[in-house]
Amino acid sequence: MSSELTPAQQLEKMRRDWDDRARENARYYVNTERDDWTDEQFIASGERTIAEEILTDMGNICQGKDPQQMRVLEIGCGAGRVTRALAGVFGEVYAVDISGEMIASATRFLADRPHAHPFQNNGTDLSVLNPHVADGSCDFAFSTIVFQHIPSRAVIETYVREVHRLLRPGALFKFQVQGYVEQDGVAYESTPDDTWIGVTFSDAQAVELAEKTGFEPRHRHGANEQYFWLWFFKR
Ligand SMILES: C[S@@+](CC[C@H](N)C(=O)[O-])C[C@H]1O[C@@H](n2cnc3c(N)ncnc32)[C@H](O)[C@@H]1O
């Protein structure tokens, strides 16, 4: 396929590719550490992510609020690996993913977690949540290993604007983007029709993204690395 995709064709390609990956081996493509995850191992992997990125950071995330009273968002929930662990900490979790196959897998995996709500979305905004989640009613948003796969700066920017719409003022969107600017001396570049390698953000581009979407980019960690973490606080 040529690189000259319309935005709609690009979203369709993302959905199709992730549905194919989910049909082949959802848990492997969610976390490529293993291709034979058991339920127990997959649960433990989500809990490790939460232990590293959430439980170490409860001051920024909760800001004095009881986690059980918090409503959180997750972008790109895949098979529910992190969603399940988030639901062990927070009162309500609303999660979206572009792939219906991933959402079917997440729905099965979260069947005993009635306060975790996975939805298939259109791959760029959070309108699917509008009947359930009012603007300004969410306390925290999270995303990991998702934007690093999205080959469109415009799609990522739309997500950041949408998260801003749903968060309450002051709340945090903590998320990871691809931070490689070059690898082995070669510029790291995505192409519009490759749905595995996403666009990369320099530190300056991360700051610019925050400023134009109404966030304060208070902390950043891992610039020039694959796991470039951003702490965006809603102004
Ligand atoms: C590597 S998996 C990670 C899943 C989950 N965040 C985790 O860490 O377990 C990436 C997920 O992002 C989803 N994804 C890719 N592009 C997306 C988009 N434009 N909108 C929403 N989800 C997307 C894929 O369907 C896939 O489930």
Q: How far is CA 109 from the centre of its chain?
A: 18
pLDDT tens column, 56-99: 999 999 999 999 999 999 999 999 999 999 999 999 999 999 99
Q: Is the CB of 73 under 6 A from ligand 1?
A: no
Q: pLDDT digit string (tens) for 126-136?
A: 999 999 999 99
Between CA 129 and CA 139 the distance in angstroms is 15
pLDDT digits (tens, 9 = 90+) for 148-194: 999 999 999 999 999 999 999 999 999 999 999 887 888 888 999 99
Q: 91 alpha carbon to ligand 1 midpoint, in Å?
A: 23
**From atom 10 of ligand 1, which residue's Cα is the shortest distance away?**
146
Pairing of strands 228-234, 215-221: antiparallel
Nearest CA to ligand 1 atom 3: 30
DSSP bridge pairs for 200: 178
Q: What is the CATH number of the domain that holds 186?
A: 3.40.50.150
Which of 16, 72, 84, 146 best tests ligand 1's pocket when mutated (most atoms within 8 Å of CB)?
A: 146
Give the position, in ligand 1's atom list, of the atom nearest the Cα of 14: 16
Contacts of 57 (CB under 8 A, 6+ apart): 174
pTM of the model: 0.97
Q: Is residue 223 part of a domain?
A: yes
Residue 45 Cα: closest atom of ligand 1: 9
CA of 18, closest atom in ligand 1 = 25
> How far apart, in Å, are the Cα atoms of 139 and each of 12, 103, 231?
31, 23, 14
Q: How many domains does the chain have?
A: 1
In a domain, 178, yes or no: yes
1 located within any domain? no
Of 234, 118, 95, 232, which is closest to residue 176 (Cα–Cα)?
Answer: 232
Q: What is the pLDDT of residue 3?
A: 59
